[in-house]
């Protein structure tokens, strides 16, 4: 029996043991996070720190009638130890519940079926990975973090549902610096390590690094034709994911897409965005164990097709749930590609800006779809289809109804995966897949 299968069966047995402590009229949902992760940090192309993290966390969602309590405890994989800690937590929930107010929109606890999904990977050993990561850039100033290992998400409830998802991957999130401390940023993420692909990834960033020591051009505020790389587009989609497509936010007047519903506005037919679990980066089940559709069209050729609707929002607003998570955010967004080839990007820009990376993004006016942010690594001034120089950092303030609407001119025929590299509390899973885009009259304010 594989190690992962043992973890899965152990969790199910532990769940059944804990559910036997419930009283009549009580329900319990358990959500599990497990990980076995190897981290390595680099500076000046040298290994500065390595560490391994093996940890687990168990979330309890206790329901009695319309009263609900959330509780988190550690999870070790030792059934006796875990059962003792979880039993104490359950008793506290049972004692607290009578003192709570009812939640009128508390979802019912039901059996949402069973599923088991395990994604394995072909990755270098921890020992060999250091040489593989550093060799292609050994003569350069490289800083970054390498992450490798497996992560589990699982969910059961007292009605009998059982869901299990595990995935294994690695990523190298890095920056390369010139002697003048100007930088380019790269990301290599995969489930099937390839020395050749990683070398090509590094080589592409080194080609940009050679341009970074040219004198920076100060570009005046104004409107410019720009190329937004897949990495830059992923930053924008990330902001859209914050309140943008939540049905609750739409009903509360806090959605950037409200005008599409209220005024029947459309974006460019070149723009399509979906929730796509076929990418295999995260589980389809949510915190309640509800299985979302494998693919859900959100924006289809510029037309708003669906908001993300949780079961709580379904009860509150009387609409059908599509089993979004509690936050009603995209978990695996996928933006459709177009027909612009990589080798034609500079020619398509003509004269304008090549933007590899953005940061500090935020809504400047969410109700009207306005987003602000800054340029960052490897952003260049282009003239007549040729990169001339890097640019001083610029701030943009632009409307998504423009840059994904009438200003969207071309979309690349390739896309890139931007994994979720967050390790706040524990290692995250998921990510998004985005292409690059050409936009006319993109507004810069500083």
Q: State the pLDDT confidence band at 2, using cuts at 50, 70 and 90.
A: confident
State the DSSP H helix or E strand holding residue 419, giving kind and residue range, or none if neither.
strand 408-419
**Residue 75, exposed/middle/buried by CB under 10 A (0-12, 13-18, 19+)?**
buried
Please say whether the beta carbons of 38 and 148 come within 8 A: yes
Q: Terminus-to-terminus CA distance in the chain, angstroms?
A: 60
Cα distance between residue 332 and residue 432, in whole Å: 5
- The whole-number average pLDDT for the span 269-290 is 94
**What six digits make up the tokens of 340?**
């612009």
Three-class DSSP category at 443: strand
pLDDT for 356 equals 97
- pLDDT exceeds 90 at position 1: no
- pLDDT exceeds 80 at position 384: yes
Q: What angle do CA 203, 214, 349 make, to 5 degrees?
A: 70
- The whole-number average pLDDT for the span 334-355 is 98
DSSP lists the bridge partners of residue 299 as 273, 304
Three-class DSSP category at 414: strand
Closest-CA residue to 366 (of 278, 240, 270, 246): 240
- pLDDT exceeds 80 at position 421: yes
Please say whether the beta carbons of 117 and 165 come within 8 A: yes
Q: Give the pLDDT confidence of 119-135 residue by residue, as tens digits.
A: 999 999 999 999 999 99
Alpha helix stretches (DSSP H) within 39-98: 79-96
Q: Give the pLDDT confidence of 224-270 residue by residue, as tens digits.
A: 999 999 999 999 999 999 988 999 999 999 999 999 999 989 999 99
State the DSSP H helix or E strand holding residue 1, giving kind and residue range, or none if neither.
none
Please say whether the beta carbons of 274 and 104 come within 8 A: no
pLDDT for 167 equals 94
- Give the Å distances, CA to CA, from 164 to 70, 117, 159, 275, 279: 20, 6, 16, 20, 17
The residue ranges of every structural domain in the chain are 3-209, 222-444
Q: Give the pLDDT confidence of 70-127 residue by residue, as tens digits.
A: 999 999 999 999 999 999 999 999 999 999 999 999 989 999 999 999 999 999 999 9
- The whole-number average pLDDT for the span 321-350 is 97
- The whole-number average pLDDT for the span 361-382 is 96
- The whole-number average pLDDT for the span 141-158 is 97
pLDDT for 325 equals 94
pLDDT for 55 equals 95
- The whole-number average pLDDT for the span 403-417 is 97
pLDDT for 93 equals 97
- The whole-number average pLDDT for the span 305-330 is 95
State the DSSP H helix or E strand holding residue 240, giving kind and residue range, or none if neither.
helix 230-240
pLDDT for 243 equals 86
Q: Does domain 3-209 have CATH number 1.10.10.10?
A: no
The total number of residues shown for the chain amounts to 446
- The whole-number average pLDDT for the span 311-317 is 94
- pLDDT exceeds 60 at position 34: yes
State the DSSP H helix or E strand holding residue 262, giving kind and residue range, or none if neither.
helix 258-262
- By DSSP bridging, strand 67-74 and strand 46-64 are antiparallel
- Which residues, including other chains, have CB under 8 Å from residue 147's CB and lie 6 or more apart? 37, 38, 39, 170, 171, 173, 421, 423, 427
DSSP lists the bridge partners of residue 412 as 340
- The whole-number average pLDDT for the span 334-361 is 98
Q: Give the pLDDT confidence of 163-213 residue by residue, as tens digits.
A: 999 999 999 999 999 999 999 999 999 999 999 999 999 999 999 999 999
Lowest-pLDDT range of 152-161, 237-246, 297-306, 434-443: 237-246
- The whole-number average pLDDT for the span 35-63 is 96
Cα distance between residue 163 and residue 291, in whole Å: 9
- pLDDT exceeds 90 at position 370: yes
Q: State the pLDDT confidence band at 424, using cuts at 50, 70 and 90.
A: confident
């Amino acid at each position: 029996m594989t190690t992962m299968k043992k973890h899965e069966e152990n969790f199910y047995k532990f769940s059944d043991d804990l559910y036997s402590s419930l009283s009549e009229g009580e329900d319990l949902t358990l959500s599990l996070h497990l990980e076995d992760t190897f981290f390595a940090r680099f500076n000046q192309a040298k290994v500065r720190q390595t560490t391994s993290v093996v940890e687990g966390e168990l979330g309890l969602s206790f329901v009695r009638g319309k009263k609900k309590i959330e509780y988190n405890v550690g999870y070790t994989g030792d059934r006796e130890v875990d059962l003792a800690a979880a039993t104490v937590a359950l008793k506290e929930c049972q004692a607290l519940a009578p003192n709570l107010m009812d939640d009128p929109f508390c979802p019912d606890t039901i059996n949402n079926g069973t599923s088991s999904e395990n994604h394995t990977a072909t990755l270098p050993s921890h020992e060999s990975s250091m040489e593989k990561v550093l060799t292609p850039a050994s003569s350069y100033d490289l800083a970054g973090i390498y992450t490798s290992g497996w992560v589990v998400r699982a969910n059961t409830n007292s009605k009998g549902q059982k869901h299990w998802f595990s995935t294994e991957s690695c990523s190298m999130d890095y920056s390369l610096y010139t002697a003048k401390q100007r930088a380019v940023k790269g990301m290599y993420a995969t489930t099937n390590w390839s020395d050749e692909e990683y070398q090509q990834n590094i080589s592409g960033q080194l080609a940009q690094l050679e341009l970074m020591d040219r004198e920076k051009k100060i570009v005046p505020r104004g409107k410019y034709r720009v190329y937004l790389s897949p990495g830059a587009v992923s930053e924008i989609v990330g902001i859209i994911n914050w309140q943008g497509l939540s049905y609750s936010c739409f009903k509360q007047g806090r959605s950037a897409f409200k005008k599409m519903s209220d005024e029947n506005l459309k974006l460019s037919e070149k723009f399509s965005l979906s929730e796509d679990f076929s990418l295999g980066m995260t589980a389809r089940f949510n915190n309640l164990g509800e299985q979302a559709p494998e693919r859900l069209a959100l924006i289809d050729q510029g037309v708003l097709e669906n908001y993300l609707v949780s079961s709580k929002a379904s009860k509150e607003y009387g609409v059908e749930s599509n089993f979004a998570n509690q936050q009603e955010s995209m978990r695996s967004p996928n933006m459709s590609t177009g027909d612009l080839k990589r080798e034609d990007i500079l020619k398509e820009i003509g004269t304008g800006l090549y933007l590899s990376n953005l940061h500090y993004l935020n809504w400047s006016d969410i109700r009207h779809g306005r987003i602000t942010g800054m340029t960052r690594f490897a952003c260049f001034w282009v003239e007549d289809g040729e990169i001339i120089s890097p640019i001083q950092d610029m701030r943009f303030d632009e409307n998504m109804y423009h840059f994904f609407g009438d200003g969207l001119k071309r979309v690349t025929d390739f896309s890139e995966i931007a994994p979720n590299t967050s390790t706040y509390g524990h290692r995250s899973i998921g990510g998004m897949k985005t292409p690059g885009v050409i936009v006319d009259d993109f507004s810069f304010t500083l």
